[in-house]
Amino acid sequence: MLKSEFAPAKINLTLEILGRRSDGYHELRSLVAFAQDVGDVVELASGSLSGVEITGPFAGDISGSNLVDSAIAAFAEKVPGAAPNRLSLVKNLPVASGIGGGSADAAATLRLLSSAYPEVSEPDLLTMARVLGADVPVCIRARPVMMTGVGETLDEVALPHDLYAVLVNPLAGVPANKTSQVFASLGAATLAGTPSKEPTPRFSRIDDVIAYAKARGNDLEAPALRLLPIIGTVLADLRRLENGLLSQLSGAGPTCFTLFKTRSEAEAGALALRLRQPSWWIRPTRLG
């Protein structure tokens, strides 16, 4: 019987880079949400096919080993003999796009493999996830959180149910080391000490989310724009959409988003943008 796990797109509603730590990693603070109906799918089934089969519209953009392979290896190390006979990835999200596609795929793989091993707990999965990358732990839970440290501290946040977005990626070519180039261009200052922990924000209304996200922004937006100027075109087009509340970059880009109060407004915005930019990847979704 086919088993599957949804790997939702991860959206950085905010991304503050607080400085570079003595170990070379960057201290961050990010309000993270997940698309409820936009993402990849990892499937597990019986069969004799070895390795990971990749299908979907962006399958051709993945070459060599990927985080799904790494997740399988990490799980097999924890649970010997647990490697699947057949595992496939339906790649619906653009690659290297700032919405955590690879990390979400790895997290979904760990969740899927653990479904057959009840002795593997969520803390076990988080331990495996931390080895795979800074964004993998937040994708294990795939729920709204305030993410701090280097991604290891996750405080759950309640978002209003009726928070919608249009996600847009211009499908422009990005360098393989995009994220490292963006961070290098940012040139974050060295941290003098451990940043003080802020209280976890509370959001009663969408307006609270908008006000918070607008005030915090995304510190990677300016350096990402220098590397990929087309991000400026995307943001300008998004800011023209009727009923759009806030438009920002997610992660290191180039995917950007605009927030809306209703699904119909988000869908209308996506349709209007597709008419202007038919070659772009454009998806309306609810965030949660």
Return binding residues for ATP: 94-104
CB 76 within 8 A of CB 39: no
CB 43 within 8 A of CB 2: yes
CB atoms within 10 A of CB 53: 14
CB 142 within 8 A of CB 153: no
Burial of 188 (0-12, 13-18, 19+ CB in 10 A): middle
The question of whether 91 is a catalytic residue gets the answer: no
Reference 87, options 142, 50, 128, 136; nearest CA is: 50
Report DSSP state, residue 34. E
- 40, 105, 135, 237: the catalytic one is 135
Reference 252, options 99, 103, 138; nearest CA is: 99
CB 89 within 8 A of CB 55: yes
Reference 134, options 34, 10, 38; nearest CA is: 10
The question of whether 3 is a catalytic residue gets the answer: no
Please list, in sequence order, all residues whose beta carbon lies within 8 angstroms of the beta carbon of residue 167, skipping any fewer than 6 positions away: 9, 11, 35, 38, 99, 250, 255, 256, 257, 281, 282, 283, 284, 285
Q: Which residues sit in the known binding site? A: 94-104
Q: What is the DSSP code string of 103-170?
A: HHHHHHHHHHHHTT-TT--HHHHHHHHHHH-TTHHHHHH-S-EEEEETTTEEEE-PPPS--EEEEEE-
Known catalytic residues are: 10, 135
